Structure 1
């Protein structure tokens, strides 16, 4: 199976480096992406928005001979769902890594803009539930791998217009939530609940990690990705 790996904010294709070997060993062809404008100054990235990230991933889907699995971590989940909306007939499954399918018109989140771009705010910016399993060595090793993202990307609303996206099977690999806990939590957040419940085939699997499992538990994440692709 062809697998497209979409990183979250501030990360590039190298963020999947510890996951890729296990996917390839299972016989998959893997396409980790670096999204447009990552690390670029505002003079080069000011016009880049979430639609451009979706388009970049769609171009990869269109280049493949058969259907593929699209994986999105964190904010990359918005991109992955945009790909499913654009090419529902070419996406065999969407896998969300510690994130959820966004409803139409919603964004990723808002972060401080500096010099016209959104820099990585540092690991200390995030609540403990997101980073508790990133030890000092991991934080020091991975922080230099981060880059700024175009200012528009986190706050651009996602355009979703094709109801055929609901027919694409979905796996949600959630850091701390199993199926029951996830359902109880998502049901408090309309219209995210409506978007999730509209999906005809969706499963939730607990990773047992914080928000960056590709750094903290890459072997566990690889195992769960292979299981999701095998469905």
Structure 2
């Protein structure tokens, strides 16, 4: 999959239950002659993988790094990584292990995780995977604003249960250089002013935002899945962030 093009690389990674397909509408507006945008499915979220329920955060981070290598990404040609929602765990690991490969990280309804964080620390060891909840339950956790019945039907039909090991594994980070990577927050269901206030207050979900050295914010008011509710606007936000100088 190695390529000889010098176009900047934008790698899109969706959150829990989602694969590369979640970015289809964004890609229609994002790919241009002067940039290449590629979406990936993390290990554990490929419905055709018979061993997917055993995949870990380490497997996911390794897969991201492997794809970057195959795309020709290097310290001299770093990529922009776009991480939506629960993709923040493996991408936080990537930033910690190889910050030099990332020109900019764009967190969409997401943000950097603090070391020691666990998404579902109370998930019993016997639970192999977590299916997409009923939408009335999900709506209590994340905004469904802007999603039509047709979109919700597609979400339900294509969602893949999240592997238990991914949800239980602590994020262990050791390299403070991850905080020097230029960062953009795309804030949708929570306005950026509130996110920054929570970060300054030390809220555990947002605390690491306050440690970032180069931070921009973009407000894109909608629900938690802007790739479906505002795909064109999200593509423009990503393009704008990716074009910013380091």
Where does residue 79 of structure 1 map in the other structure? 90
Where does residue 52 of structure 1 map in the other structure? 59
SS at match of 1:101: coil
Conserved? CA contact 1:119–1:147, under 8 Å: yes
Match of 1:223 among 236, 239, 246: 236
* Superposed CA offset, 1:94-127 (max 9, x none): 0000011110110234697897221111322223
- Give distance in 2, aligned partners of 1:204 and 1:175: 11
SS at match of 1:92: strand
Where does residue 165 of structure 1 map in the other structure? 178
- Give distance in 2, aligned partners of 1:177 and 1:25: 30
- Give distance in 2, aligned partners of 1:189 and 1:17: 36
* Superposed CA offset, 1:178-220 (max 9, x none): 4422211223444555422221101121111110001111111
Alignment of 1:94 onto 2:105:
yes
Residues 11 and 18 (structure 1 numbering): CA distance in 2 closer, same or farther, change over 3 Å?
same
159-168 or 38-47: which moved more? 38-47
- Gapped regions of structure 1 (runs ≥ 5): none
Conserved? CA contact 2:17–2:131, under 8 Å: yes
1:98-109 equivalent positions in 2, closer than 5 A: 98-109=109-120
- Give distance in 1, aligned partners of 2:128 and 2:180: 38
Alignment of 1:117 onto 2:129:
yes
Query: Which structure 1 residue ranges, 4+ long, deviate > 6 Å from structure 2?
Result: 110-115
- Give distance in 2, aligned partners of 1:14 and 1:70: 17
SS at match of 2:173: coil
- Give distance in 1, aligned partners of 2:222 and 2:131: 24
Shift of 1:42: 10
TM-score by length of 1: 0.90
* Superposed CA offset, 1:56-114 (max 9, x none): 10111222332101111000122222211111111000000001111011023469789
221-230 or 139-148: which moved more? 139-148
Where does residue 15 of structure 1 map in the other structure? 22
- Give distance in 2, aligned partners of 1:111 and 1:124: 22
Shift of 1:15: 0.4
Q: Alpha carbon RMSD of aligned pairs, Å? A: 2.4
Conserved? CA contact 1:42–1:117, under 8 Å: no
1:127-146 equivalent positions in 2, closer than 5 A: 127=139, 130-146=143-159
Conserved? CA contact 1:49–1:152, under 8 Å: yes
- Give distance in 2, aligned partners of 1:172 and 1:115: 32
1:140-155 equivalent positions in 2, closer than 5 A: 140-155=153-168
54-63 or 171-180: which moved more? 171-180
SS at match of 1:200: coil
- Give distance in 1, aligned partners of 2:47 and 2:121: 19
Aligned residues: 231
